[in-house]
Amino acid sequence: MDNVPKYVAASAAAVAVSARAQAGKPDERELVTQAQKGVASAFEELVRRHQQRVSAVVGGILRRREDIEDVAQQVFLKAYVSINRFDMRSAFSTWLYKIAVNECWDYLRKKKVRPLTYEADLSEEQARHVEQFVSAGGELNNAAERVELREIVERLLSDLHEDDRTMLVLKEAQGFAVEEIGQILGLNVNTVKVRLFRARKRLAANYRRKISHAVDNVSRSGGSERP
């Protein structure tokens, strides 16, 4: 095997991978092994399989769409460069998501911004908007309402610990299981459950506090703005 040039071995392996891909989906471990040998098509297949979930992890931490795409691509680049260090002791996806989380925190550190920094209370209009949403049983009528709600919820999330915020968004918005979140953040499943539950309570407490502040501000100003 040593006498076979590397590119010949790689192209033979690539043919084998694509043949298996045509027959059915190749095993992930096999794809990783091929990628570790330098088969680009195997790595491409791994990117294809995980691009959505990696983007979801990144989207759980970062806010801007361009940032999400940029960092998600960077995650795969890092994975490619260090794939020989992956020892198959965990699932490839878990290893990849850990890179994603670290990459997001690095990105935020380099940009010297907290993921969310909102100090002010909700405006009267925002308070009314979120109250309407809650009383309507969580129904949104259009995309603009969702944008408005996201702004409010990010304010509510800003008081939470970064990990707690990430857990909550991964669980509720991106549909990750508690076990997956535990693997990504390196936490025990029970710890994740308890922290998730406490994060929810804190978010709700923030909601009530900010709503009552908004109501107080309105009553102090004589409620002139309310129709």
CA torsion angle for 184, 189, 194, 196 (degrees, to 10)?
30
Minimum distance of another protein from residue 11's CB (angstroms): 16
Gap between the terminal Cα atoms of the chain: 81
Q: Which of 13, 32, 42, 72 binds another protein (CB under 8 A)?
A: 72
Closest CA to 123 of 213, 219, 208: 213
What residues numbered 142-201 form the site for another protein, per CB under 8 A? 146, 149-150, 152-154, 156-157, 168-169, 172-175, 178, 190, 193-194, 196-201
CB of 142 to another protein, least distance (A): 13
Burial of 183 (0-12, 13-18, 19+ CB in 10 A): buried
3-state helix, strand, coil in the chain (%, to 5): 75, 0, 25
Closer residue to another protein, CB minimum distance, 173 or 219: 173
Q: Is 203 in the site for another protein (CB under 8 A)?
A: yes
Contacts of 33 (CB under 8 A, 6+ apart): none
Cα dihedral 32/34/36/40 (nearest 10)? -100
Minimum distance from CB of 201 to another protein (Å)? 5
| Cβ nearer to another protein, comparing 57 with 220 | 57
Q: Minimum CB separation from another protein for residue 90, in Å? A: 22
Q: How far apart are CA 118 and CA 48, in angstroms?
A: 36
Contact 101, 184 (CB under 8 A): yes
Q: Could you say whether residue 106 binds another protein (CB under 8 A)?
A: no
Please report, to the nearest 10 degrees, the dihedral formed by the alpha carbons of residues 95, 101, 196, 117 taken in order: 180
Which residue from 12, 15, 29, 52 is in contact with another protein, where contact means CB under 8 A? 52
Which residue number, 134 or 219, has a Cβ lying nearer to another protein? Answer: 134
4 near another protein, judged by CB under 8 A: no
If the CB atoms of residues 41 and 225 are measured against another protein, the closer one turns out to be 41
- Determine, following the binding rule CB under 8 A, whether residue 141 of this chain makes contact with another protein: no
Q: How far is the CB of 166 from another protein (least distance, A)?
A: 12
d(CA 136, CA 144): 16
**Amino acid making up residue 121:** D
Which chain residues interact with another protein by CB under 8 A?
A: 40, 43-44, 47-48, 51-52, 55-56, 58-60, 68-69, 72-74, 76-77, 80-81, 130, 133-134, 138, 140, 146, 149-150, 152-154, 156-157, 168-169, 172-175, 178, 190, 193-194, 196-201, 203-205, 207
